Each structure stands twice: as structure tokens, then as C-alpha cells.
Amino acid sequence: MTAAGRHAGRVAVVTGGAAGIGQAFAERLAAEGARVAVADVAGAERTLELIAAAGGEGMAVHCDVSSEDDVAALAASVSERFGPADILVHNAGIYPLVDFSEMTFEQWRAVMAVNFDSTFLLCSELLPAMRSRGWGRIVCLSSTAFHAGMGGMVHYVASKGGIIGFVRSLAAEVGDEGVTVNALAPSLVRTQGTTADPRAFEAVAASQAIGRTQLPGDLDGALSFLVSDDAAFLTGQTLVVDGGRVRS
């Protein structure tokens, strides 16, 4: 169930929106009235089709979120087409599995660049306009992997923990300017690109209060709330949406 018009007049940027969780976010925001810019290194044609089918307006921008130049070009393209972004949903991320004993610094840096450095780059480009207009919503994707401390993913878990710290601190700086900054933390989500062993889905589902595998559609309602006027007094938080695996 969506609330038509909930985000009418807003401009949203969704990173990693070509598929999976980001695609679900883009479709939901478009259905609720936002004009949506989909940023990804992959083609986003299917997401644009879903946006159009939802009655929305979208655009796709090829963007490596770890590139300062690409992120600057993204901000400029969105502003030229739709105007400055009101909403940033930073969903893009990578999650290669590798034991720490075999991890190279190059592998560590690659994950940190895409998952964490990108948070700084995107906010540096998009936040100033939000502050100047006195309204903005930033939601970055963390993960319950941070709470679980999963092995074989030290770089990934560290990047997702960094996001939690980032949103807490940035929220303190911009809270009086009409801008909220939060994190959304899912569990293991089944998407087109998920590479986890099928047995991992079974094990995770068994540890949840709601004992089934999480899907992208389980997250878009929470996302829609966080970027709405209804969440104007909620900031600096990490909203865990994982079927009750982490109960805090």
C-alpha cells in the first residue's frame, strides 16, 4: 500500500538503483510522487520502465559513487533536469566475501571506497542545497551484518558500521536546518545480484522472529517513511528492518 502524492514535488536521488533494493526504492518513491534520478554503474532501463509504469518521472545517470568527478557530474545532471535533490537514498554497495587472512589492502580499499567514501562524496555534493532550502532527507543503507559481526566480510562490516557513525554525527550538524540523516539496516536480502550461499538465507531466516527470507519490498515502506514529512523529528538513527533478527 502506497500513499500517492506523499513525495509530490520532491526530487530524489537513489544510488544503486538499477536493480534489487535500490530499484524497489526508486519505484516506491516514484509511485508516491517524487521525480527520481537513478544513479548506477549498470544500465537502469528496467528501473525507468517501472518508474514510468508507476506514473512517475525518472532519469538514469551512469555514476561510480566512489569517483569524485562522477558524483559531481551526477549532482549537476540532476539539478539541470529536475532541480536540486531533496532526498538522497544511498543504497549502492559491494559485498565480496573474503577471509581477512587473505584480504589485500586493495580489496579493503575497494569496498571502503564504494560503500563508505561515497557517503562523504554524495553528501558533500547534495547536502548544501538541502541546507539552503531548509528541507532535506538523507538515508544511507547500513546492514545488520554490523550487529552480527559476520566473518569473511571484515571490510564490508566495517564500512556499514562507519555509515552508522557518519549519520549520527552529520545529523547533529544539520538537525536545526530541516535536514534529517538516518540509516536503514536490512538483513540478508534476496535480490537478483545476491551471491550468498542458498543455505545462508535459510540460516538467517531461522534466526528471525519473522521466519522468511527478506525481499526488497520489505524495505521500501520504511524508506518512504524516513524521507517523508512524517519523520521530521527522527534523525541520527539506524532503523533496523530485518524481520526481528536484531532485537534492540
What residues are annotated to the active site? 156
Coil, strand or helix at 230: helix
For helices 45-53 and 20-31, the axis angle rounded to 10 degrees is 30
Question: What is the Cα–Cα distance from 127 to 69, expressed in whole angstroms?
Answer: 17
3-state DSSP call for residue 225?
Answer: helix
Q: Are the beta carbons of 39 and 49 closer than 8 angstroms?
A: no
Residue 181 CB-half CA count within 13 A: 24
Looking at this protein, which amino acid is placed at residue 68?
E
CB 162 within 8 A of CB 116: yes
For residue 230, how many other CB atoms are within 10 A of its CB?
Answer: 12
Q: Coil, strand or helix: which one is 87?
A: strand
- In 3D space, the residue among 37, 147, 151 whose CA is nearest the CA of residue 92 turns out to be 37
Q: Are 222 and 179 in contact (CB under 8 A)?
A: no
Q: 35: which 3 cell numbers? A: 521525480
Q: Strand runs (DSSP E) across 123-208, as ranges?
A: 136-141, 179-186
